[in-house]
Amino acid sequence: MTSARPITIKDIAKRFHCSPSTVSRALNDHPAINEDTRRNIKEYALEVGYQKNEVSLSLLNKKTATLGVVVPSIGHYYETAVIEGLHAVLQPLGYTLNICVTNENYLLEKEYLTKLLSNRIEGIFLSVAQETYDAGYYEHLEQVNQRHTPLIFIDREYETFETSRATVDDYHGAFAAVEHLIQMGYRHIAHLKGPNGLTVTEQRFKGYIDCLRKYNLDISEELIINTNFKVESAIVPTKRLLDLPLPPDAIFGVNDQVAIGAMRVAKDRGLRIPQDIGLVGFDNSPITAYTYPSLTTVGRPGRKIGMEASRLFLNQLNASEDFRHENIVLPAELIIRESTLRLS
């Protein structure tokens, strides 16, 4: 039963005993149409709720005004901030965003890319899934290149893949976080690392390591444990850390979620934060300002990343022959709160 056939321009043409061309021109205010004809047609169109079929227009103009946004999840603050930034720039320009969530799944990511290309979207913003990283797959990106569809990496990227990207300087963000811990007098600093292989994970890890090196602090394997970005994935690792003969006096979490998980475990153990143990997260998600104690964290300008990524896309669209891919890296900002502010 569902769909009563939508009114078409032909239907209107029949009603007025004129040709579809006339109706089209009338609706688009073409000057070479009689004033009365135009008015009548427009009134009637409004009355019957005519809506132009964008599908046919897309076919005709080879333009869909649609962009794909392919991300592993939309549950975290950063991702939604990026999407908001994309939206802020691109929606006013008439673009529709087609948001696809891969759930960290490679096959789904591939399927989405194919589907988006089949649907003739005009550009893709991609943060690659974890599985894609793990397996080192990237053939599914070739089809995008082959079609010369602009591809912009956001957040999670392939370092070796030649395309534009807008990312955050995770390395220096992490470095600053650990340096801050050191300046606060913490010396035995653990890291709840993300899943191995992801650029964000490894960059933050590298920042952590390099900072320890700079200050001649020991790097201990047992102080580095993987998590999967979720709160609950921090619980067991944190317990293991605190059970060590020489437990850490600070924990740097790969994101806010795991830092909050660690906070919970530390409090359960009766540890005082920041006196007994310091905690740092990453992302500056809204909640971090209101945990107790509030969480020191590294802010990522997600909205700005989205806006920069949009700019990269637009540049590529209007680019000349000698177009070179751009690499935008925005700084991360250390936000000092109570969880590390111990007056030594």
Partner DNA sequence: AATAATGCTTCAAACGTTTGCGGATATGTA
Partner DNA sequence: TACATATCCGCAAACGTTTGAAGCATTATT
Residue numbers at the binding site for a second copy (CB under 8 A):
1-4, 6, 49, 51-56, 58-59, 64, 73-75, 77, 80, 83-84, 87, 91, 96-101, 103, 108, 114-115, 117-120, 122, 143, 146-150, 230-232, 235, 257, 260-261, 263-264, 267-268, 286-287, 289-292, 294, 316-317, 319-321, 323
Residue 53 in the binding site for DNA (CB under 7 A) = yes
Residue 14 contact, options DNA, a second copy, none, Cβ 5-8 Å cut-off depending on partner type: none
**If you ran DSSP here, which 8-state letter would residue 299 be given?**
E
Q: Which is nearer to a second copy, 87 or 204 (CB)?
A: 87
With beta carbons less than 8 A apart as the criterion, state whether 174 and 185 touch. no
To 10 degrees, what angle do helices 20-27 and 35-48 make? 90
With beta carbons less than 8 A apart as the criterion, state whether 128 and 158 touch. yes
Residue 292 contact, options a second copy, DNA, none, Cβ 5-8 Å cut-off depending on partner type: a second copy
The Cα 44–Cα 75 span in angstroms is 45
**How would you class 89 by CB atoms within 10 Å of its CB: exposed for 0-12, middle for 13-18, buried for 19 or more?**
middle
To 10 degrees, what angle do helices 139-146 and 106-118 make? 10
Which range touches DNA (CB under 7 A), out of 11-19, 132-140, 141-149, 231-239?
11-19
To DNA, the closest distance from the beta carbon of 38 in angstroms equals 7
Residue 324 in the binding site for DNA (CB under 7 A) = no
Residue 22 contact, options DNA, a second copy, none, Cβ 5-8 Å cut-off depending on partner type: DNA
Q: Which is nearer to a second copy, 133 or 229 (CB)?
A: 229
Residue 37 in the binding site for DNA (CB under 7 A) = yes
Looking from the CA of 179 toward its CB, the CA atoms found within 13 Å total: 16
Please report where in the chains the tokens 């008439």 appear, as a residue. Answer: 94
To 10 degrees, what angle do helices 235-242 and 256-268 make? 50
